[in-house]
Structure 1
Amino acid sequence: MTSFDPIVFKQTTRAQWEEAAEAWHRWGPTIEDWLGGATEAMLTAAGIGEGDRVLDVAAGAGGQTLAAARLAGPSGKVLATDISPAILEYAAKSASEAGISNVETLEADGEDLSSLEESGYDAAISRVGLIYFPDQHAALTGIHRALRPGGRFSAVVYSTPDRNGFFSVPVGIIRRRAELPPPVPGQPGPFSLGGPGVAEETFAKAGFSDITVQRVPSPVRLPSAAECVRFERESFGALHQMLSRLDDAGRAEAWQEITEQLTQFDGPDGFSGPCEMLVVTGTR
């Protein structure tokens, strides 16, 4: 068993998202259908309004970035940051195509936001990104510093594996086949903030107050389990990172087992993969 190396992890994460950027963008409509409710709850909890300056950390292809920009209006602005420049290009392109001119992008490590103006933002958001930071405390203290006093940060994260079968089933299969050790507390991963009280404690240690957690049922609805596997296989960087320890044949076998196991969520109306998101919000 090798020890966790945060530097290598981030290098691999960046490389995987550079590779998955086009697919994540292409699957955008599916992602917005899936995460629409949680995104709306996040934006509401962050209190974004006309004229606000908004920081979006680990913005990805920018679906939530554009939604925040619409709320901030022409007199506001949204800065979308991500470790992957390729995926930010899609965020910028989407904003341009939508006629939204108040979005800027910045390649930045979410754990090091020291280049940003202190107290320069009215609100901050992060959708399914914070969970993958090796040093979540560094990320949260940086976000806390970037917010004005009274500004709010809201993040969408997964709850626990038992409530997220569409993702925990593939993760479990890959972890077993790749002989990966179980995650330890504080290690990044999809469910790293989902346990009871974990998100609240993590936010509080970074200086946030008035912390709330809202549960949002977010089932993944697609025509079939096979289509869900295609979605995950093409665009889920975290799964690709875990699979990197297997050879081509091993990866193919893993995906075959994942497909077989996910069919348990197929039904008369198609695939409905269990998923529950948490919207965690704190105030500076």
Structure 2
Amino acid sequence: MAEQQPTFDAAKYKNAQREQWNKDGAAWRRWNPTLDRWYGEVTRKMLDLARIQPGQRILDIAAGAGEPAVSASERVGPSGYVLATDISEGIVELALQVARERGLKQIEARAMDGEKLDLPDASFDAVLCRLGLMYMPHPVTALREWRRALRPGGRVAVVVFSTPDRNSWGALPASIIRRRAQLPPPVPGQPGPFSLGAPRVLENIFSQAEFANPEVHTVQVPLRMASSAEYVRVAREAFGGFNAMMAHLPPQERESVWNEVEGAMHSFDSPAGFEVPGECLVGAATK
């Protein structure tokens, strides 16, 4: 008899995501300067493809601790409006704090499931999602919801990571953690950092969600830091998915895993500093 494949529980997964980001959101904000440098170019490309103009209404899905909502608000100006949403209540509050600190009154923040928007039809000029769509269990459902919230002619623009072989910053540590934690392979179709990165996948889900004229661009996003040791500090504090993968291990074993990860990442150290490859896809389409 063939072995039965485990099923993926989307509701349980979303609850775990919410709890993880409620716990790790503050660390993500602490490392914001590093993360904003890492994602800076791809964020600008996404905003360009969204064709954001002064006075527009922008919806940011999976906004995290304030970006790209802050950058979008600078483009729409004080006459525009940006709604930053995230599944985590804690991280939404952090995004609102960032907006208040910068005096950006055009930003509002609300906790919301990106696959089920509590928003009226045709109420936004553009929808943004930076590194969030690939973590959603039903990306086509999500895109259809975003399309519903867009005005006719509105734009959607997203960023996802491409394939594991082009993202050593995440694939190498994940492979070590998966082996040491004795985790089974991911369930087919399961969301994750590289779930939408294969060729034509992003274009296809845009089309399934009935968006027109999809376009996808590749952007190199190498992660540069002072050293592999600094990378591990960021990964331990801000990349909650890694910690979730080995949550069942005793503390001493988790520490041993992180030591192995640092040893592996040391290969990306040089006299000029630490640089590990990364690659994103920036996709956009029109309602």
Length-normalised TM-score, structure 2: 0.96
> By how many angstroms is 1:140 displaced?
1.0
Quick one: which amino acid aligns to residue 140 of structure 2?
H
> By how many angstroms is 1:244 displaced?
2.1
* CA–CA separation in structure 1 for the residues paired with 2:69 and 2:178: 32
Q: Paired residue for 1:72? A: 76
Match of 2:195 among 192, 197, 201: 192
* CA–CA separation in structure 2 for the residues paired with 1:177 and 1:140: 36
Checking the alignment, whether the CA contact within 8 Å between 2:8 and 2:187 is kept in structure 1 is no
> By how many angstroms is 1:42 displaced?
0.3
Aligned residues: 283
Amino-acid identity (%):
47
Work out whether 1:270 is the aligned partner of 2:273.
yes
Instruction: Give SS of 1:195's match.
Output: coil
Structure 2: segments with no counterpart, 5+ residues: none
Q: Paired residue for 2:154? A: 151
* CA–CA separation in structure 2 for the residues paired with 1:52 and 1:240: 39
Q: RMSD over aligned Cα, in angstroms?
A: 1.2
* CA–CA separation in structure 2 for the residues paired with 1:99 and 1:36: 21
> By how many angstroms is 1:184 displaced?
4.1
Q: Paired residue for 1:44? A: 48
* CA–CA separation in structure 2 for the residues paired with 1:160 and 1:95: 33
Work out whether 1:101 is the aligned partner of 2:105.
yes
Checking the alignment, whether the CA contact within 8 Å between 1:185 and 1:192 is kept in structure 2 is no
Q: Paired residue for 2:13? A: 9
* CA–CA separation in structure 2 for the residues paired with 1:8 and 1:184: 14
Work out whether 1:216 is the aligned partner of 2:226.
no
> By how many angstroms is 1:63 displaced?
2.2
Quick one: which amino acid aligns to residue 267 of structure 1?
S
* CA–CA separation in structure 1 for the residues paired with 2:225 and 2:232: 10
Checking the alignment, whether the CA contact within 8 Å between 2:6 and 2:187 is kept in structure 1 is no
Q: Paired residue for 2:186? A: 183
* CA–CA separation in structure 2 for the residues paired with 1:52 and 1:181: 46
Quick one: which amino acid aligns to residue 183 of structure 1?
P
* CA–CA separation in structure 2 for the residues paired with 1:198 and 1:183: 18
Q: Paired residue for 1:247? A: 250
Quick one: which amino acid aligns to residue 36 of structure 2?
E
* CA–CA separation in structure 2 for the residues paired with 1:28 and 1:62: 9
Structure 1: segments with no counterpart, 5+ residues: none
Work out whether 1:129 is the aligned partner of 2:121.
no
Quick one: which amino acid aligns to residue 248 of structure 1?
P
In the TM superposition, structure 1's runs of 4+ consecutive aligned residues that sit over 6 Å from their partners are: none
Match of 1:229 among 229, 232, 247: 232
> By how many angstroms is 1:179 displaced?
2.3
Length-normalised TM-score, structure 1: 0.97
Quick one: which amino acid aligns to residue 271 of structure 2?
P
Quick one: which amino acid aligns to residue 100 of structure 1?
L
